[in-house]
Structure 1
Amino acid sequence: MTRKRLLATTIIGGLAMASAGAAVAQTAPESDSTEIEAVVVTGSRIARPDYVSNSPIVSVGQEQLAKTGSVTVDTLLNQMPQFVPGVSGTSNNPSNGGQANVQLRGLGSNRTLVLMDGHRIVPSNSDGTVDVNLIPSAIIQNIEVITGGASATYGSDAMAGVVNFKLNSRFQGLQVDAQYGITDAKDGEESSISITGGSRFADDKGHAIMSLSYSQRGEILNAAREFSSVSGASATSPYGRYDASGTNLPTQAAMNTVFARYGIAAGTVANGSNLGFNNDGTLFRNGTNYRGSTAIDYSTIPTTGNYNTGPLNLLQLPLTRYSAFGAMDYNITENVEAYGSFNFTHYDSRTVLAPSPAAAATGFSVNYNNPFIPADLATLLASRPDPTADFLFRKRFTDLGPRISETTFNVFQLSTGLRGQTGFRDWTWDLFGSYGKSEQNEIQRGNVSRAAVVSLLDAADGGASICSGGYNPFGLQPLSAECASYIGRVTKNYTGYEQRAVELNFQGGLFDLPAGEVRAAAGTSYRSDKYTYVPDSLLSTGDVIGFNANDAMVASADVYDFYGEVLVPVLKDLPFIKALNVTGGYRFSDYNTVGSVSAYKIDGDWEVVDGIRFRGGYSRGVRAPSIGELYSPQAQGFPQIIDDPCAIDSRARTGANAAAVRSLCLSQGVPSAIIDTYTYPNTQVNALIGGNPDLKEETADTYSVGVVWTPRFDNPLFERLSASVDYYSIKIKDAIGTVDAGLALTKCYDGSAGSSFYCGLFNRSSATGEILTLQLTNLNLATYETAGVDFQIDWGFGLGAIGLSDDYGSLSFNVVGNYLDKFDVQSLPGEPIDKLKGTIGNTSVSSVAVAKPEWKVMSSATYSIGPAEIGVRWRFIDSMVDAGDSSEKIKSFNYFDLNGAWKVTDMVEVRAGVFNVGDKQPPVFSSNIQANTDPSTYDVLGRRYYVSLKTRF
């Protein structure tokens, strides 16, 4: 049978887990009932009557989601110790245009598989990651998370684990939910409303549900918070800047003469200095003779010469979202059920960046006789060895306003299937198919046409014959509306992702052994993915300054899977072995990109006595490179760096190897005339990023071992006590990623064995010494390795257990945490290992830097009495050091939240809460992600309040 004739795939199952009653549950006590419905345990496809998991599992209920007071589900997940926040609603740059992506263990969102009711969701990105803004949050019953390798069970993308959003598709009645929230600073308003209805029909043969919702989130600017109001320093300012060429410098005498006119002593400003322009035609160097604005956008220029780009950037991205979800099932016969669902989400968001800069490789070459050149600059130009040579000029185009990216998302998914009994023992079958499509339409404003600016600069009359007033770039000179329209460009981009999938799954009992029934599951699947990117034609030409230029892309990939899994009960009812079970699984996958790969696992559970269970196992996972990793066109990007090692004030030039670094910088092209005065004028570098069709698959080895304790005490104080501890170790080989820009520069100059490789990733300007382009395309690098311990305690009791009366209420407590034992990254084989445990910031082989605290804990305590409850939550993030500067320490953080609920009647419930009660402000550190901090790890909004109302009929 040919591959194209296969219909496939396994049921990824219902993944139905019983809630343990606490906010976050990894285990649940077994029922005393003799008739227990078989369920599919997360991490396995085999249905079994006893609720057992061989892997660490976390379950988050609807009640805990309601307590976040957020309109997006990623808010709670990113606070949980097993997750490391990545792109979220506070990610402006880097950003996914307003998407929310989740990642387990800090291993990247592309290694975390996101499911809805056990099935895949259409991705929104070329790397295959899912936008969780698409989840119909109003009907989430619980979120089930398996932390650890699950490729043998679910296929590629599940190397770090699986997040499964289980919906309340059996809901009956009519329910209305409304919520409103606002920060203590009276901004960032959030509101939502949803209407959900469900009912049985056709004499209870069928059931249908429909949920409609609307949500809104207001934007917050960096300028609105003190810690971020001065951020993103850039030497490319709206005043414009002359850049000295090391091969054609003005004389020091001319420089002294010009600055003597301002009362500046001779020799204060070196002849190799870059200079800015005041509006009166005078020149300034850093804060020397600066005569411009000291408003917030310009507040850094008087002291450092850098422009403050941060205030116009967004601290919280706006969101306006509409969604609709519907599902129906119908019993065709006693043994066959038809089912189907649709999910549609439309939302708008935007990101805002500082006005477009012409910097680094995008600067302009200006003729020496441009009619607008100030007299003082003309004096300097005339003193050069070649006085008629062009000079390099930089400018930030504030006349066009900030760069704004407005993105509209339209995502829908249709699915249908048949399931039923086979007639052989208790075997069941499930045939499922789905089609999903994600579309993004982006409008970019604030772009600048390089060709148009060059036309104005090269015109003999300064461009007055082209547009009204021409273009005077020296200082903050007013630009006419006609000239602004002439150089400005609005661009539009389209992104689409289509996914088709079909699955066939069988599962049931095979035969009986003395210790119990041997059970198995087997199936096959087919999945096809197609990614389309159509950029504005202007972006494809490379003429645009502002947003990154990209080429068009249409690429696809498909995979056929076959899998099998078997559960073998080994021993039962022996001394210290109440039950011992072993599970094995194998998956064979055939990709049209990397060929055939295999994943497998073996794990087990050992119930020693009632209430004590050990669990653990080993799995080999694989992840095929995504469409984007393989085929994304190589395009321009601007990654951030802390400093340039060749700069005179850098750590490399002031360290023990300063002489060797200086010599290397000279050999790379930094002119000797400026080598001892050179300072890097930007915090970003121009880089070439993109795909690599020669990539191969990643592999991962995952180990886990743990113990679950659910004691059976007669004492009412401890009868609801449970605890679990699990150790995990994940090692990924041939990890696909890009070398971080800062890492490439650091390792080029550190004298290590691999320094020549890193030095070969970039080149420098022979005139200014600046980095022109870094080559940061995707590679199969070396390894990621992380290990740690997850732990959890759940405890609850009525007050009668402590000598009072249960009439006075009850208390419940929950503690869930993670201890990180290691997070090691090796960039290339044979290189030293970067030990990143306890660090935060930008220096790893990763597209997004992540925080790696040694300890992360989330605890809650709730007091309930009658229809009311009040709770407090404590979130702890351990202290860390700046990965870019180990001398910079970030202290530990403690956040406290309050929440309360009151069931006014059986049909009406009111909730309210306060987040970040202490109004804790985030830390500021050098190698920050954005806004001087890490806005996904730390709370950047401050104290905020919410209130919600739920009515049910």
Structure 2
Amino acid sequence: MARNTYLLGASALVIAMTTAPMLAQAQTTDDASAVEEVVVTGSRIARRDYVSNSPIVTMGQDAIEKTGSVTVDTLLNQMPQFVPAVSSTSNNPSNGGQANIDLRGLGTQRTMVLIDGHRVVPSNSDGTVDVNIIPSALIQNIEVISGGASATYGSDALSGVVNFKLNKNFTGLQMDAQYGITEQGDGKESSLSLTAGGKYAEDKGHAVFSVSYSQRGEVYNAARDFAKISGASSTTPYGRYDATGTNLPSQAAVDAVFAKYGYAAGTVSAAANLGFNNDGTLFYNGVNYTGSDAIDYSTIPVNGTYNTGALNLLQLPLTRYSAYAATEYEINEHAEVYGSFNFTHYDSRTILAPAPAASSTGFTVPVTNPFIPDDLSTILASRADPTADFLLRKRFTDVGARISETTFNVFQLAGGVRGATGFKDWTYDLYASFGRSEQNETQSGNVSHSAVQTLLDAADGGASICTGGYDPFGNNALTDSCRSYISRTTKNWTAAEQRMVELNFQGGLFNLPAGEVRGAWGADYKFDSFQYVPDSLLSTGDVVGFNAADAIDASTDVYELYGEILVPVLKDLPFVKSLNLDAGYRMSDYQTIGTVGAYKVDGDWEVVDGFRVRGGYQRAVRAPSIGELYSPQNQDYPSISGDPCAYNSSYRTGANAATVRSLCLAQGVPSAIIDSYTYANSQVNALTGGNPDLKEETADTYNVGFVWSPRFENPLFERLSLSVDYYSIDIKDAIGTIDAATVLDKCYNGDANSAYYCSLFTRNTSTGEIDTLTLTNLNLARYKTTGVDFQADWAFGLGAVGLDDKYGSLKFNVVGNYLDSFKVQSLAGEEFQELKGTIGNTSISSVAVSHPEWKFAASASWVLGPVDLGVRWRHIGEMVDAADASEKIDAVDYFDLNGAWQINDTYSIRGGITNLTDKQPPYFTSNVQANTDPSTYDVLGRRFYVAVKAKF
């Protein structure tokens, strides 16, 4: 059947970043049967008018191509409705190279990802889907529905749904090749795809097959000026003696040692932590520092800090191979069988600075160690207990950087049978799928804590164990045998499986004066399992380098029933061209939490031709994931902006300084160092993990808006469209952890629940430092966000402005978001924390997210025959650092150029320049990494791409 459509449909919010609207709405014709029924994302009911009651953003293959990226998450993360999460620029934190998407900033686990309306096998224990596995060469369009959709699709759809619709009707042979590079000559991206499709068996069947290869080059922090000095750490490759507050040396001894270096008495406190120069002398905060520029005090003037950032990655490398095949075959009008197979293999890598033995992983050194420098011996001998071991921190540069290399293999096999039931126009669809995601990770750069401790404890310094022994006092080279003795390589394995069966029916029920009542109902079963087998060394906790981890082997399943009904209420009345209501309910019986229900009521009101009002309410439900329930407690290192107990912190110098000082003493900061205690690290040790007592999350979602496509006869305005939608999402009993910065802040700021927050961590009674924060999963209080999405599309031929259409046409598009509020409540009864206009908060995600008040993208293009030239403007509003509201981050604007030329029916070329002005990212103190947020801001700079497509 033919589709009678026209551009600039008034039915849905279109997208983003392209120069022409890509969503069509079916026109009313005298022959209704000439219009094919379609299913809108967010509903199970097929309709002849392509109408969405919820805001839907749609983008096509053209939009993906104009980003110049080889991965689809780049486009999604530039859209105003998304908050960038783990992506190609996420080195630490990272998911090993995965690309996860986060709608509304409410967490990737609350964004449902579908392919052609069906679930995709997850790659993580929290159910998050890796969009690297989407067969991008076959993407026809991407539909994004904002707001809860649990009644339609089930758990996980609290913030919305992203539905990748594939072109399964592709016919012919197509080759596409693309190459891109940054202005600095790195970060190369290339892709090559081959797609073929056609009919068979006397046109009863159709098959499509696509294979693709893509590669993305790595970029180091050191390659960009803004990032090459970042990640200050107090654990250095020279080693550091840490003063123990309960066994300090005498001030006289410290003064005597530093007097030899030419410094006056009292320059260095007896409570100071001292670093080692290679000649055996000592330094403190640059005082008497004679080492190399591995510690750069001119740029990081912090006590004992080391520049860890240079070795980290700004862009993760990726080598990906994928294959997709789909077929459908019509047996008769009552049965069409169909199936698909999707496979992706890719490799990626993350790189971190050399392993640090810090905090609770430091080493104790006996005073009998033969490598102890003379000056340190003098100081140690002055302690109250001169024979006691002392604490040593060390970064193992000789072992090399910590490198995690991950290989992903993901496949999904799906199929079913569908057709007409023979009852009225009712159709059925029986669908089943099986998917498996497998990861193999190899970690190098680890160090065995026990092996190092053995060398330190040895009377000969370990010389009888490995050649030369181990001298940790200074940046002294290890021999090959000692390096081999302490080094460890670990290997981890992860597997996630999903099995699903669903049966759906839909069709007309009966007629009312305003039209036909239509309905849909169905049932499904879903089984998920997750296994993680860490290297046995990680499980023992002996490894210094990558985080300690324990195994997980768990599964869960759910049985569901749903129903949906569409009721035409009024039609062809004054100011009511049509009024329809849609209601749905889903009952889910989970193995873990029992029976829960989700429901929706929404509607659309076509006031007059070209003006439609839409909106509704949805109660969405999300069951806790396998990881949230059953993950064992594992080691993590969340970021903090400082320790409130540090003598120079704002807590110790503010109005409550005396109270904070007393609390720090009570927690274990030794009195001998309370007024000189500092903490220079940007991270803290924490335990994170599951909680089997979690219950479900619930979300109340409201939306109301309008779509206006005025019916002007003037050619200047006949292709004008405007949409505005207000949304409100309120999530209760939200599953998550209280982020480390919030725990510390609320422990010391006199909060009503300060005792609870203080109970979540302990301190080392010798050094005063935080030993471990306990941040296990909890049903916290609430997340609330409200805002407005808006879009305008306008296109006209130049004849409309007094020229001639032979000179082409202009197209304009603006799509954006105004964030009215984004609030987080950590515990019931507490005040909400307003995050609107902030960046750097980790309350919802381990990746600190941004919440600008304004975010939009605008584009303009000139089309002349086969040539399309465009410019795009991306705007991210000003924000403040969530950890320090006095630190302002200015608004950022990016400009991109793109162009395409359809040479003939077979060949076309395209190209562009991304970040035309080479805009550099802003700095802020509580940065995610590289002194900024590399997911929110462009960290690569100006770059170029060119591509060629041939279709036969």
TM-score for the superposition, normalised by structure 1:
0.97
* Distance across 2 between alignment mates of 1:32 and 1:434: 37
Aligned positions of 1:858-877 closer than 5 A: 858-877=857-876
* Distance across 2 between alignment mates of 1:19 and 1:753: 46
* Distance across 2 between alignment mates of 1:299 and 1:73: 41
Aligned positions of 1:84-95 closer than 5 A: 84-95=83-94
For 1:835, the equivalent position in structure 2 comes to: 834
Query: Cα–Cα, structure 1 residues 115 and 598, in superposed 2: closer, same or farther, change >3 Å?
Result: same
Q: 2:686, 2:775 within 8 Å by CA — same for their partners in 1?
A: yes
For 1:320, the equivalent position in structure 2 comes to: 319
For 1:442, the equivalent position in structure 2 comes to: 441
For 2:914, the equivalent position in structure 1 comes to: 915
Q: CA deviation at 1:655?
A: 1.1
* Distance across 1 between alignment mates of 2:20 and 2:363: 57
Letter in 2 for 1:31: Q
Q: CA deviation at 1:722?
A: 0.5
Q: 1:290, 1:302 within 8 Å by CA — same for their partners in 2?
A: no
Letter in 2 for 1:858: A
Q: 1:463, 1:471 within 8 Å by CA — same for their partners in 2?
A: yes
Report the secondary structure of 1:939's partner residue.
coil
For 1:194, the equivalent position in structure 2 comes to: 193
Residue 44 (str. 1) matches residue 40 (str. 2): no
Residue 662 (str. 1) matches residue 633 (str. 2): no
For 1:8, the equivalent position in structure 2 comes to: none
* Distance across 1 between alignment mates of 2:13 and 2:689: 44
For 1:31, the equivalent position in structure 2 comes to: 27
Q: CA deviation at 1:681?
A: 3.7
Letter in 1 for 2:491: K
Q: CA deviation at 1:42?
A: 1.4
For 1:56, the equivalent position in structure 2 comes to: 55
Per-residue CA deviations over 1:430-485 (Å, capped at 9, x if unaligned) read 00000000000000000000110011000000000000000000001111010000
Q: 2:19, 2:860 within 8 Å by CA — same for their partners in 1?
A: no
* Distance across 2 between alignment mates of 1:300 and 1:854: 33
Report the secondary structure of 2:496's partner residue.
strand
* Distance across 2 between alignment mates of 1:164 and 1:588: 22
For 1:947, the equivalent position in structure 2 comes to: 946
* Distance across 2 between alignment mates of 1:553 and 1:201: 47
Per-residue CA deviations over 1:796-853 (Å, capped at 9, x if unaligned) read 0111111111110000011000000000000001112101100000353433221000
Q: CA deviation at 1:92?
A: 0.1
* Distance across 2 between alignment mates of 1:121 and 1:441: 20
* Distance across 1 between alignment mates of 2:302 and 2:743: 30
Per-residue CA deviations over 1:303-329 (Å, capped at 9, x if unaligned) read 642000000000000000000000000
Residue 78 (str. 1) matches residue 77 (str. 2): yes
* Distance across 1 between alignment mates of 2:415 and 2:583: 30
Letter in 2 for 1:899: N
Q: 1:729, 1:786 within 8 Å by CA — same for their partners in 2?
A: yes
Letter in 2 for 1:245: T
Aligned positions of 1:196-275 closer than 5 A: 196-275=195-274
Q: CA deviation at 1:334?
A: 2.5
Letter in 1 for 2:806: D
For 1:755, the equivalent position in structure 2 comes to: 754
For 1:117, the equivalent position in structure 2 comes to: 116
For 2:783, the equivalent position in structure 1 comes to: 784
For 2:7, the equivalent position in structure 1 comes to: none
Q: 2:106, 2:844 within 8 Å by CA — same for their partners in 1?
A: no
For 2:544, the equivalent position in structure 1 comes to: 545
* Distance across 2 between alignment mates of 1:359 and 1:730: 41
Q: 1:710, 1:721 within 8 Å by CA — same for their partners in 2?
A: yes
Aligned residues: 938
For 2:902, the equivalent position in structure 1 comes to: 903
Residue 510 (str. 1) matches residue 518 (str. 2): no
For 2:793, the equivalent position in structure 1 comes to: 794
For 1:561, the equivalent position in structure 2 comes to: 560
Report the secondary structure of 1:398's partner residue.
coil
For 2:679, the equivalent position in structure 1 comes to: 680
For 2:490, the equivalent position in structure 1 comes to: 491
* Distance across 1 between alignment mates of 2:300 and 2:513: 80
Query: Cα–Cα, structure 1 residues 484 and 300, in superposed 2: closer, same or farther, change >3 Å?
Result: farther
For 1:106, the equivalent position in structure 2 comes to: 105
For 2:162, the equivalent position in structure 1 comes to: 163
Unmatched 5+ residue regions in structure 1?
1-15
* Distance across 2 between alignment mates of 1:50 and 1:869: 31
Per-residue CA deviations over 1:574-609 (Å, capped at 9, x if unaligned) read 111110000000000000011110000000111111
Q: CA deviation at 1:25?
A: 5.0
Per-residue CA deviations over 1:38-73 (Å, capped at 9, x if unaligned) read 111111110011111100000001111110110000
* Distance across 2 between alignment mates of 1:842 and 1:719: 45
Residue 407 (str. 1) matches residue 403 (str. 2): no
Per-residue CA deviations over 1:678-731 (Å, capped at 9, x if unaligned) read 001422111111100000000000000001101111111111111100000000
For 1:929, the equivalent position in structure 2 comes to: 928
Residue 335 (str. 1) matches residue 334 (str. 2): yes
Report the secondary structure of 2:492's partner residue.
strand
C-alpha RMSD of the superposition = 1.4
Report the secondary structure of 1:399's partner residue.
coil
For 2:8, the equivalent position in structure 1 comes to: none
Q: CA deviation at 1:613?
A: 0.6
Report the secondary structure of 1:485's partner residue.
helix
Letter in 2 for 1:76: L
* Distance across 1 between alignment mates of 2:635 and 2:420: 55
Letter in 2 for 1:234: S
Report the secondary structure of 1:400's partner residue.
coil
* Distance across 2 between alignment mates of 1:683 and 1:53: 46
Per-residue CA deviations over 1:777-798 (Å, capped at 9, x if unaligned) read 0000000000000000011011
Report the secondary structure of 1:851's partner residue.
strand
Q: CA deviation at 1:638?
A: 1.0
Aligned positions of 1:391-470 closer than 5 A: 391-470=390-469
* Distance across 2 between alignment mates of 1:500 and 1:335: 26
Q: CA deviation at 1:28?
A: 3.9
For 1:704, the equivalent position in structure 2 comes to: 703
* Distance across 1 between alignment mates of 2:573 and 2:912: 51
Letter in 2 for 1:122: V
Residue 577 (str. 1) matches residue 584 (str. 2): no
Report the secondary structure of 2:743's partner residue.
helix
Per-residue CA deviations over 1:244-282 (Å, capped at 9, x if unaligned) read 011100000000000011111110100000000000000
Query: Cα–Cα, structure 1 residues 782 and 462, in superposed 2: closer, same or farther, change >3 Å?
Result: same
Query: Cα–Cα, structure 1 residues 948 and 942, in superposed 2: closer, same or farther, change >3 Å?
Result: same
* Distance across 2 between alignment mates of 1:416 and 1:380: 74
Letter in 2 for 1:447: N
Q: 1:290, 1:301 within 8 Å by CA — same for their partners in 2?
A: no
* Distance across 2 between alignment mates of 1:266 and 1:426: 94
* Distance across 2 between alignment mates of 1:849 and 1:41: 33
For 1:811, the equivalent position in structure 2 comes to: 810
* Distance across 2 between alignment mates of 1:20 and 1:676: 57
TM-score for the superposition, normalised by structure 2:
0.97
Residue identity over aligned pairs, in percent, reads 71
For 1:522, the equivalent position in structure 2 comes to: 521
Q: 1:356, 1:398 within 8 Å by CA — same for their partners in 2?
A: yes
* Distance across 1 between alignment mates of 2:736 and 2:338: 40
* Distance across 2 between alignment mates of 1:24 and 1:378: 74
Letter in 1 for 2:392: F
The worse-fitting range, judged by mean Cα deviation, of 31-40 and 464-473 is 31-40
* Distance across 2 between alignment mates of 1:323 and 1:24: 30
Q: CA deviation at 1:31?
A: 1.8
The worse-fitting range, judged by mean Cα deviation, of 817-826 and 304-313 is 304-313
* Distance across 2 between alignment mates of 1:571 and 1:302: 71
For 1:591, the equivalent position in structure 2 comes to: 590
For 1:7, the equivalent position in structure 2 comes to: none
Report the secondary structure of 1:666's partner residue.
helix
Q: CA deviation at 1:30?
A: 3.6
* Distance across 2 between alignment mates of 1:669 and 1:767: 8
For 2:892, the equivalent position in structure 1 comes to: 893
Aligned positions of 1:465-476 closer than 5 A: 465-476=464-475
Q: 2:12, 2:55 within 8 Å by CA — same for their partners in 1?
A: no
